[in-house]
Structure 1
Amino acid sequence: MRIQPIQNEFEKEIIDLILNIQQKEFNVPVTLEDQPDLMEIENFYYQPGGIFLGAFIDEKLVGTIALVRFSEKAGAIRKMFVKKEFRGKEFGIAQQLLEQLITFSKENDIKDLYLGTVTILQAALRFYEKNGFETIAKESLPPDFPLMKPDNVFCHLNLK
């Protein structure tokens, strides 16, 4: 497995991976139109100082994670998805994606990571909690945090 920064040359693979998991696996009521960032990876993630990472096995995209830098010292984790057949400790893909994103954040002087998710994704919430994230109230988010419509659970990790 390898993890590398990816951009819109992988747009089709990224969209297929993410929409299949959101819509078919978890029935999250979200469409591609609700996620214009997926067609503007360079502008949405890289230009403000973030990153979009892809995990590949046998040259196939099997996982993603992205960072939206929304202030000088804070970022939002987005698009953390791993194909069902590649999840779990035996592959460690989600863990490696998160670790690379945290390393990138520290190297780029980001002190606080935030994320939003949905209640139905209990395994994801447990994963974030195991990695030191704390659940916070929506009202505790920074005012410039980029909210996603379906999100109803929010987490924070201090990197200091």
Structure 2
Amino acid sequence: MHSIIHIRELSDSDQDEVIGLILPIQQQEFGLPITLHDQPDLCNISQFYLEPGGTFLGAFSGQDLVGSIALVKAAGETGAIRKMFVHRDFRGKLFGIAQTLIEKLIAHAQQSGIKNLYLGTVEPMKAAHRFYERNGFRRIQASQLPPEFPRAKTDTLFFHRGLDVQT
């Protein structure tokens, strides 16, 4: 039986757990040709995500990191969702981890004045595509991305969602 899930903002001290969650999902589960070297943001969470006004949230079962989502605050009123991953044993509506993470990220984005969220993903992650669409994201062409969007080299599909900004 799994313990109650709790969400908190991650920091540089969580780097090993973040890498331990994300790399196996990318490489082993989805066969993506991506390494830690290709993702320097994972080794500097504060500088890449937190200091510019974004966030990096983690979902924990006990002491174990089982889910993540990050927000890059880009130029102007633009944000990019990155590093949305949930351990295979904790996916689905039973746990609601992905839904909780995206709702908390959207709330942070709105409070930060972000009006447009973008994300990139890859073709094999079909369940993720459906999840984003259920959460108001619409597929767009790469040519529709703003110039400041931090595109990952593996991204082939892109999504956008406009936000009502909270004041």
Q: Taking structure 1 as the reference length, what is the TM-score of the superposition?
A: 0.99
Aligned to 1:156: 160
Aligned to 2:117: 113
From 119, 141, 145, the equivalent of 2:145 is 141
Aligned to 1:55: 59
**Could you list the per-position Cα deviations for residues 60-96 of structure 1 after superposition, in whole angstroms to 9, with x for gaps in the alignment?**
1000000001112110000000000000000000000
**Could you list the per-position Cα deviations for residues 15-53 of structure 1 after superposition, in whole angstroms to 9, with x for gaps in the alignment?**
010001000111011000000000010000011110000
Aligned to 2:34: 30
What 5-or-longer segments of structure 1 have no aligned partner? Answer: none
Q: Over aligned residues, Cα RMSD in angstroms?
A: 0.6
d(CA) in 2 for partners of 1:144, 1:8: 24
How many residues are treated as equivalent by the alignment? Answer: 160
Give the letter for the 1:84 counterpart: R
The runs of 4+ residues in structure 1 deviating greater than 3 Å are none
What 5-or-longer segments of structure 2 have no aligned partner? Answer: none
3-state secondary structure, aligned to 1:56: strand
The answer to whether structure 1 residue 10 and structure 2 residue 1 are counterparts is no
Give the letter for the 1:40 counterpart: N
d(CA) in 1 for partners of 2:163, 2:18: 28
Q: Identity of counterpart residues, as a percentage?
A: 54
Structure 1 residue 59 displacement after superposition? 1.6
From 97, 106, 111, the equivalent of 1:93 is 97
**Could you list the per-position Cα deviations for residues 1-21 of structure 1 after superposition, in whole angstroms to 9, with x for gaps in the alignment?**
110101111111100100010
